Structure 1
Amino acid sequence: MKILLLTKKFPYPLKDGESQAIHGLSKSLSELGCEVCLLAMNTSKHFFAGSTLPEQMSHYREVRTVNVDNTISAFDALGNLLRGTSYHISRFDLPAYHDSLTEWLLEETFDVVQLETLYLSPYVNTIRKHSEAQVVMRSHNVEHEIWERCSANISFAPKRWYLQHLTAQLKEYEQQQLNQYDLLLPITRRDESYFKTLGFRGESYVLPIGLETTCGEPRYDSYARPLSLHFIGSLDWMPNLEGLQWFLNDVWPGIHRRFPDLEFHVAGRNMPPSLQELRMKNVIIHGEVESSCDFVAAHSISIVPLLSGGGMRAKILEAMSLGRVVISTSIGLEGIDAKHRRDLFVADTPTQFVEAIADCLRRGRKLERIGRAAAIRFHKKYDRRVLAEKLLVRYHKLMRTAVEA
């Protein structure tokens, strides 16, 4: 089977959830005998300047890129506001990418063209015009819902109004596109149900994130040392930054008062200067770390304080695969099949975070049992190879149905 992936960023390095999700599935499909090709936007925000592909991308039969300047422009944003079109989408609807896609589709035949996120949906008509491939949308999130949650948490009224207006345009666009695909791949059952309430009537198949466990086997030596907390995530993604700031401002003071010796270690890409220069007692700022595996493995407790966002959090799965004890908000845990106090902890308020940490400390070395349960749960539910095998069966069924029609 020949599959062409369309992505809104160059999916490397593998340090964010979107890149990890794309990598895990594409590599697994390749291992199962598919020819997987990639047409990636090489954006100014996530620019890849290398002349040769990284070894981790050797599973692609071919990779092509289109250089894209998607810098946020106040002038362009105003233009979209006046036209009533979605600025979120228009930043990725680009003539050069349409041209590159058309050229490739005219050169060879693909069985499936897989769109990675809603932001590739402007290219559906180009695919239909030049190919008979099945068009599949892999929805990493309900996109407008992320922005609804973000805007609701903004206190500055003009900014909140503007984001709510952009979000309404994005929601309208997302609804309009729902029934344009031959197959929709929501990342959770909850997202699938929500899409149906928005008017989706087509074929869907729930495909959770499947990660490659590049960090190796779980490590449990950290449980023999004094416990410490960590946070890691891309801090140019608004929900990550918003959640971390909430944790530092509203949650950490109460934790520090009760457990004055406990340390909180913070790492992440594109960390804003305000965090790099932060000075809080027992909060250690690392910035971007060389090895996320080593960083996560060094600290037994993983903090995921998301207040907005959607889909599934790859960082939770990565922490579980390493045998970490995750303490997450309910929003952060959406779509992940794990049980409170067996595989991880759920906390939504400052008091609940304090109590979850107190529970961890009371358990002492026995806390390792939850870390081990988390690792077992990950391998049972979110192994990339198992998920890809099931998807490939669904793709063959999709193609048979298209032939019969």
Structure 2
Amino acid sequence: MRILQLCKKFPFPLKEGEAIAVYFLSRGLVEQGCTVDLLAMNTSKHFYAPSDWPAEFSHYTEINAVKVDNKLSTIGAFQNLFSRESYHVSRFDTPEFAAALSEALARNNYDAILLETLYLAPYIPMIRSKSKAAVVMRSHNVEFAIWERIIANTAPGLKRQYLRHLTHKLRRFEIAQLKKYDLLATVSAHDLAEFKRLGYQGYHLVAPIGLDLDRYPVQEPDVLQPLSLGFIGSLDWMPNQEALEWFIQKVWPMLRRHFPELVFEIAGRNAPAHFLKHKVPGIKFTGEVPDAAAFMAAHPISLAPMRSGSGIKVKVLEAMALERVVLGTTIALEGIPAQDGKEFFLANTPEEYVQQLLGLRENPHLARKLGKAARALVKREFDYRDVAKKLLAGIERLD
């Protein structure tokens, strides 16, 4: 089977969730005997020089990264106020990428076109007109749901009104696409249930984000030597910004009163300027790190204070694979069949963060027990080979 994988950004380096999800699925499909080509947008924000294709991508038969300028602009945002189009989506609908897709469809006879996220949906009409390939939407999130949660946590005012306007158009677009897919593959049962509630009646399956545990060697955790928290993620992603602002303002002061020695290190690229101005005792902003797994392994406790977002949080899965203690919210664990106190510790309020850390300090052996259970869960539910097999079987049933 020959598959064309479409991406809204070049999926490298393997430091953030979307890139990891794209990489391991494509690798798994190739290991199942498929031929997989990659056609990605090479955006100014995530630009990757064509001369430096990573060695990890040798499993692809063809790679094409199309230079696309989709920067947010004040003028574009203002003009979109008078359009029915979703500004979230329209920035990814470009003539350059359309031309590259048209050439790929003319050159190769594909069995399936794999759309990685909703933002590739504008190209479905072209695919239908130029190919008989099955259209597979791999939904990483319920996109509009992310923004609805952000709005719920935004203070009343012009910003909230504008976000509501954008989200209304995104929601309308996302629902309208549901009837266009041959197969909808969501990363979680939670997201699939939401799409069904919104009216999706077509063929579907859950194909979660997969990992290769060989890439996550285990170091035994010790929650007392020293007691430290770590957070890693893209700091230009609004749900991450929102989560950290809330944690620093609402949770951290209470934690420091109970744990004066506690250290919290934050890593990630593209941190906004106001983040770097935080001068809070015990908190360190490290910026982008060369090895995300090594960073997580260095901290016994991985923090996931998400208050918005959708889909599966890959950094939570990675921390679990490394046998770290994940301390996070209900939203952070959505789509992951883990139990509070068995594979992670749940904390939605400042008081719950304090209680969970007090429990760990009094019973440090729980860290090792929980970490091993978490890694076992990842091996059982999120092995990239199993995910690829499941998706491939679903595509084959479309014939």
Greater displacement, 141-150 / 189-198: 189-198
Q: 1:194 to 1:216 in 2, by over 3 A?
A: closer
Aligned residue number for residue 96 of structure 1: 96
Give the secondary-structure state (helix, strand or coil) at the position aligned to 2:3. strand
Aligned residue number for residue 371 of structure 1: 371
The Cα of 1:289 is off from its aligned counterpart by: 1.1
Output one character per residue of 1:235-294: Cα deviation in whole Å (capped at 9) or x when no partner.
111001110111011000000001101111111111122222321111122111121111
| % identical aligned pairs | 47
Partners of 1:44 and 1:291 lie apart in 2 by 23
Note if contact 1:9-1:42 (Cα within 8 Å) is conserved in structure 2.
Answer: yes
Counterpart of 1:265 in structure 2: which amino acid? E
Give the secondary-structure state (helix, strand or coil) at the position aligned to 2:327. strand
Give the secondary-structure state (helix, strand or coil) at the position aligned to 1:15. coil
Partners of 1:269 and 1:30 lie apart in 2 by 30
Note if contact 1:223-1:368 (Cα within 8 Å) is conserved in structure 2.
Answer: no
Note if contact 2:276-2:285 (Cα within 8 Å) is conserved in structure 1.
Answer: yes
Partners of 1:189 and 1:365 lie apart in 2 by 32
Matched residues, number: 399
Aligned residue number for residue 111 of structure 1: 111
The Cα of 1:142 is off from its aligned counterpart by: 0.3
Note if contact 2:207-2:391 (Cα within 8 Å) is conserved in structure 1.
Answer: yes
Give the secondary-structure state (helix, strand or coil) at the position aligned to 2:210. coil
Aligned residue number for residue 292 of structure 1: 292
Structure 1 length normalisation: TM-score? 0.96
Output one character per residue of 1:190-231: Cα deviation in whole Å (capped at 9) or x when no partner.
111111111111111111111233643211154572221111
| 1:359 to 2:359 alignment | yes
Aligned residue number for residue 79 of structure 2: 79
Note if contact 2:29-2:388 (Cα within 8 Å) is conserved in structure 1.
Answer: yes
Aligned residue number for residue 58 of structure 1: 58
Counterpart of 2:147 in structure 1: which amino acid? W
Alignment of 1:216-295 (within 5 A): 216-223=216-223, 225-295=225-295
The Cα of 1:84 is off from its aligned counterpart by: 2.1
Counterpart of 2:294 in structure 1: which amino acid? D
Aligned residue number for residue 179 of structure 1: 179
Aligned residue number for residue 403 of structure 1: none
Alignment of 1:5-404 (within 5 A): 5-155=5-155, 157-213=157-213, 215-223=215-223, 225-399=225-399
Give the secondary-structure state (helix, strand or coil) at the position aligned to 1:342. coil
Aligned residue number for residue 402 of structure 1: none
Counterpart of 1:19 in structure 2: which amino acid? A
Give the secondary-structure state (helix, strand or coil) at the position aligned to 1:51. helix
The Cα of 1:49 is off from its aligned counterpart by: 2.0
Partners of 1:389 and 1:229 lie apart in 2 by 36
Counterpart of 1:144 in structure 2: which amino acid? F
Tell me how large the CA RMSD over aligned residues is. Answer: 1.2
Structure 2 length normalisation: TM-score? 0.98
Q: Give ranges in structure 2 of 5+ residues lacking alignment.
A: none
Note if contact 1:218-1:375 (Cα within 8 Å) is conserved in structure 2.
Answer: no
Counterpart of 1:11 in structure 2: which amino acid? P
Counterpart of 2:225 in structure 1: which amino acid? R
Partners of 1:200 and 1:248 lie apart in 2 by 39
Give the secondary-structure state (helix, strand or coil) at the position aligned to 2:40. strand
The Cα of 1:41 is off from its aligned counterpart by: 0.3
